[in-house]
Amino acid sequence: MFRSICLLFAVVVVILCSGCRTTVDNRNRTAQELCRYMMQQTGGTYDGMMAVEPIHADEGFALKVANRQVAFYKFDIKYKKPRSKIEYVDKNGFIYIYGFKFSAVSHGSFIMVDYEDNPLKDKLLEAFKSF
């Protein structure tokens, strides 16, 4: 009997966890922290706030890295709509902003946009993924 209950419990845990998305939990980190970190890691400079309305983000900013703008957005992934944006980027590798397609990559609660053609793409990706 005990063995059957343990087996049933193990099966339930496996089923429940199989649908879980493995993400980095950086919800407690701020866009300002990411900005400072990315500037430090890439040598980029702050280039201003980004409009968050077009993609329903909570915060957004841009950096100039290798004389090209790279945008970063933070989402509150405890809500379905922002979480679906992150999942869309994970699946497709891009996002539409004002009808224009931009390369994008996610890491936890953050998305980095328009990095693909940057000469420091590898450095940007490495820094972003390590935040």
Task: pLDDT band for 24, please (50, 70, 90 cuts).
Answer: confident
Over residues 84-131, the pLDDT tens digits come to 999 999 999 999 999 999 999 999 999 999 999 999 999 999 999 999
CB 86 within 8 A of CB 67: no
pLDDT of res. 22: 42
Range of the domain at 97: 2-129
Q: What is the CATH number of the domain that holds 64?
A: 3.40.1000
Closest-CA residue to 68 (of 131, 112, 27):
112
Q: pTM here? A: 0.80
How big, in percent rounded to 5, are the helix, strand and coil portions of the chain?
Answer: 40, 25, 30
**Any idea of the CA torsion for 9, 14, 16, 21, to the nearest 10 degrees?**
150
Helix (H) or strand (E) holding 8: helix 2-18
Structurally, how many domains does the chain consist of? 1
State the Cα–Cα distance between residues 69 and 47, nearest whole angstrom: 8
